[in-house]
Chains A and B, each alone.
Chain A
Amino acid sequence: MYRYDEFDAEMVSSRVDQFRSQVNRRLSGELTEAEFRPLRLMNGLYLQLHAYMLRVAVPYGTLNSTQMRKLADLADKYDKGYGHITTRQNVQFNWPQLTDVPDMLEELASVEMHAIQTSGNCIRNVTSDPYAGAIADEIEDPRPTCEILRQWSTLHPEFTFLPRKFKIAVIATEKDRALVRAHDIGIEIIKNAEGETGYRIIVGGGLGRTPIIGQVLREFLPRIELLPYLEATLRVYNRYGRRDNKYKARIKILVQETGIETFREQVEAEYSELVPLDIAVSPEEVSRITDYFAPPAFKKLEACEIKTKDSALARWMKHNVLPHKVDGYAIVNISLKPIERAPGDVTSEQMRVVADLAEKYSFSELRTTHQQNLVLPHVEISELENVYKALQAAKMGDANIGLISDIICCPGMDFCALATARSIPVSQAIAERFQDLEHQSVIGDMQIKISGCINACGHHHVGHIGILGLEKAGVEFYQVKIGGDPSENTALGQVTGPGFSQEELIDGIERMVDHYIEIREAKERFIDTVRRVGVEPFKEVLYV
């Protein structure tokens, strides 16, 4: 993985000193809250419903064991002994004290981490495929591209005060595990007809109160042109993006109001004015950065399979383990979705277990996923049983990746200052209703996503079943969407109608699932059946 050079280290270290000084000046009254607020947000520090919240950046979801142990230490030393994996692959702490945050940032800097640009109207943490560097069908490891984007966008003087926040995701496989079409800019690493590697640039996607699927801005962008072209795109957004209304300030609204053809012309016009080579990254620099992501020293192993009579282990391998690009290795998904817990939460004790497992079995590498789980990317197949037993002992052995209880869920009203309803208890109730793992296997691939307000941090618009929590006159109710899809076939769900109480909602979901099992054909997934028969039959059983 990428290692800081002297400039990175100096920048992050000086940023800690700067923030420590800002906090001291705030505490002494030299800075008012109005002056301090944008400064703390630039360092990922929010004030939430009950306390401050610190969001730590995990660039493209890649961590090592040392960094994970540091997160565990921070959770114990400065918080309540746990952290939360977000849908943008970051880690949040829910209860830090302002006076401790400079020390937290200093400790993070010691392991090459920070909280810069995890908030504010800037280019946020670049996200990617959690299987990068391990999955067989990728054109190349997308993380060098992510790292180039990270370096370009960090403290970029032109793009520190954009009209609104700006999110970029990068993938290098046909299968989309990073939701690229719901990002301000999505980048797909592809090959053209001549076999050259380059980028498909997608623009104007997003969820929130106005969900829009991104459109292709450039079908094929040569590798050398990436930064100049993105620079031109961001300039057009910076110039024309609306600043009069924060709800219309994202690039998706600009692209929608301008039209993709005109927007493209504006970008190309801006691009033609640039001197690309002034900004472009040289092949030598690309090569230098790519070297940081060289594959670990894999052993030469025979391709093999594990045959086991242990049904729990077999189920876990079926749902949580994926083939690796190197014979004899596997990708292990660690579920953070046990029935009774909050999706994405992980205790400090569990963090240390995962760090140890990564060190022992996965070249010290691990990943966070936008699905709010963890990944050990490079595990020898012969060690899978040992990994499973250790995870099970730490209550992380749930075999439910991609199943109905693998729910994306925002913190909702339990923690978030913007929420209108709770989402964690709804997720727990669904997981409890479908707790029979055998039944979950029978249901198969299912993506339920829950947001506690229209800002859609829980990605409900792209859930096969999406749930939006609202409140009226002191009563929570939940609106249902059906037919969304977070994959490469990205689709937005359709609202079914009036909302339900939590109890009615769980019953309604069960009826929809039963109906799906009854009418599905062959190996149809829930989303396939919805596409074949339409939303109407599911609405009928939902509102019976």
Chain B
Amino acid sequence: MSTLKHKGKGPQALTANTLRDGLNVWLTPEFEWSMNYAEALITEDTALIDKMNTCGERDEVNNLVVGVYFIDVEPDTGLPARYREKFRVKGPTYDTATLVPLEIQKV
């Protein structure tokens, strides 16, 4: 859980991958996991961040998510500060799946 401890500056969000399907998720204000970043809890409140931390640890132990960590969020835009995290939010800019009819895609 070493990556989980809050070390960032400014507003934070908590992200992870679901254990079963591996997809990216963010912790919501209801302390549930959403695949929609727009629903992410973003806060600078240290008490709330501690609670998010506890929630992340709990859900890892409960085998709901893996690879939990905090990300820095830009105060102005509400988007992740790090370039890599912006991609986790937006998904691939090119995916060959767009060439495949949706009805034959499992995912």
* Neighbour of A82 across the interface among B66, B67, B99, CB < 8 A: B99
Q: Is the CB of A414 within 8 A of B95?
A: yes
Q: Is the CB of A342 within 8 A of B94?
A: yes
Query: How does the 8 Å CB contact mask read for B75-107 relative to A, with 1 for contact and 0 for none?
Result: 000000011101110011111110111001111
* Neighbour of B22 across the interface among A51, A347, A425, CB < 8 A: A51
Number of interface residues of A (CB under 8 A): 44
Interface residues on B, range: 20 to 34
B87 cross-chain contacts in A, Cβ below 8 A: 49, 413-414
Q: Is the CB of B94 within 8 A of A347?
A: no
Q: Is the CB of A425 within 8 A of B94?
A: yes
B92 cross-chain contacts in A, Cβ below 8 A: 50, 414-415
Evaluate whether A26 and B91 lie within 8 angstroms (CB atoms) in the complex, with A76-B104, A80-B100 already known: no
A406 at the interface (CB under 8 A from B): no
B28 at the interface (CB under 8 A from A): no
A 319-365 contacts with B by CB, 8 A = 341-342, 345, 347-349
The minimal Cβ–Cβ distance linking B60 to chain A, given in whole angstroms, is 7
A220 at the interface (CB under 8 A from B): no
B interface majority secondary structure: loop
Q: Is the CB of A81 within 8 A of B105?
A: yes
- Which residue of chain B has its CB nearest to the CB of A424? B94
A501 at the interface (CB under 8 A from B): no
A195 at the interface (CB under 8 A from B): no
Q: Is the CB of B91 within 8 A of A50?
A: yes
B12 at the interface (CB under 8 A from A): no
- Which residue of chain A has its CB nearest to the CB of B106? A78
Query: How does the 8 Å CB contact mask read for B1-40 relative to A, with 1 for contact and 0 for none?
Result: 0000000000000000101111110000000000000000
B63 at the interface (CB under 8 A from A): yes
- Which residue of chain A has its CB nearest to the CB of B88? A49
A50 cross-chain contacts in B, Cβ below 8 A: 22-24, 88, 91-92
Q: Is the CB of A80 within 8 A of B105?
A: yes
Q: Is the CB of B106 within 8 A of A76?
A: yes
Q: Is the CB of A97 within 8 A of B20?
A: yes
Evaluate whether A98 and B100 lie within 8 angstroms (CB atoms) in the complex, with A27-B63, A76-B106 already known: no
Q: Is the CB of B94 within 8 A of A414?
A: yes
* Neighbour of B66 across the interface among A47, A84, A96, A476, CB < 8 A: A47
CA distance A422 to B94 in the complex (A): 10
A157 at the interface (CB under 8 A from B): no
B95 cross-chain contacts in A, Cβ below 8 A: 80, 94, 414
B67 cross-chain contacts in A, Cβ below 8 A: 33, 47
The minimal Cβ–Cβ distance linking B83 to chain A, given in whole angstroms, is 5
B93 cross-chain contacts in A, Cβ below 8 A: 414, 422, 424-425
CA distance A336 to B30 in the complex (A): 46
* Neighbour of B83 across the interface among A29, A77, A84, A474, CB < 8 A: A474
A52 at the interface (CB under 8 A from B): yes
Q: Is the CB of B107 within 8 A of A79?
A: yes
Q: Is the CB of B62 within 8 A of A29?
A: yes
CA distance A51 to B95 in the complex (A): 13
A471 at the interface (CB under 8 A from B): yes
Q: Is the CB of B94 within 8 A of A81?
A: no
CA distance A29 to B60 in the complex (A): 10
CA distance A79 to B97 in the complex (A): 9
A 420-454 contacts with B by CB, 8 A = 420, 422, 424-425, 428
Q: Is the CB of B99 within 8 A of A97?
A: no
B21 cross-chain contacts in A, Cβ below 8 A: 51-52, 97-99
Q: Is the CB of B22 within 8 A of A80?
A: no
- Which residue of chain A has its CB nearest to the CB of B82? A474
Q: Is the CB of A33 within 8 A of B97?
A: no
Evaluate whether A347 and B23 lie within 8 angstroms (CB atoms) in the complex, with A76-B106, A79-B107 already known: no
CA distance A99 to B18 in the complex (A): 11
B83 cross-chain contacts in A, Cβ below 8 A: 413, 471, 474, 476
CA distance A414 to B88 in the complex (A): 9
The minimal Cβ–Cβ distance linking A302 to chain B, given in whole angstroms, is 41
A316 cross-chain contacts in B, Cβ below 8 A: none
CA distance A474 to B72 in the complex (A): 13
The minimal Cβ–Cβ distance linking B16 to chain A, given in whole angstroms, is 11
- Which residue of chain A has its CB nearest to the CB of B17? A47
A516 at the interface (CB under 8 A from B): no
A94 cross-chain contacts in B, Cβ below 8 A: 95
A26 cross-chain contacts in B, Cβ below 8 A: 19, 63
Q: Is the CB of B96 within 8 A of A47?
A: no
The minimal Cβ–Cβ distance linking A76 to chain B, given in whole angstroms, is 5
A347 cross-chain contacts in B, Cβ below 8 A: 96, 99-100
A 1-42 contacts with B by CB, 8 A = 26-29, 33
* Neighbour of B20 across the interface among A27, A48, A79, A471, CB < 8 A: A27
A237 at the interface (CB under 8 A from B): no
CA distance A422 to B86 in the complex (A): 12
A95 at the interface (CB under 8 A from B): yes
* Neighbour of A98 across the interface among B22, B62, B107, CB < 8 A: B22
Q: List 8 A-B contacts (CB under 8 A).
A: A48-B22, A49-B84, A51-B21, A96-B22, A97-B21, A98-B20, A413-B84, A420-B84
Cβ-closest 5 pairs across A and B: A81-B100, A80-B97, A52-B22, A414-B92, A345-B96
Q: List residues of chain A with CB under 8 Å of any chain B CB.
A: 26-29, 33, 47-52, 76-82, 84, 94-100, 341-342, 345, 347-349, 413-415, 419-420, 422, 424-425, 428, 471, 474, 476
Q: List residues of chain B with CB under 8 Å of any chain A CB.
A: 17, 19-24, 60-63, 66-67, 82-84, 86-88, 91-97, 99-101, 104-107
Knowing that A50-B92, A79-B107 are A-B contacts, what are 10 other residue pairs whose CB atoms are under 8 Å apart, sorted by A's residue number?
A47-B66, A49-B87, A50-B22, A50-B91, A52-B21, A80-B105, A80-B106, A81-B100, A82-B99, A342-B96
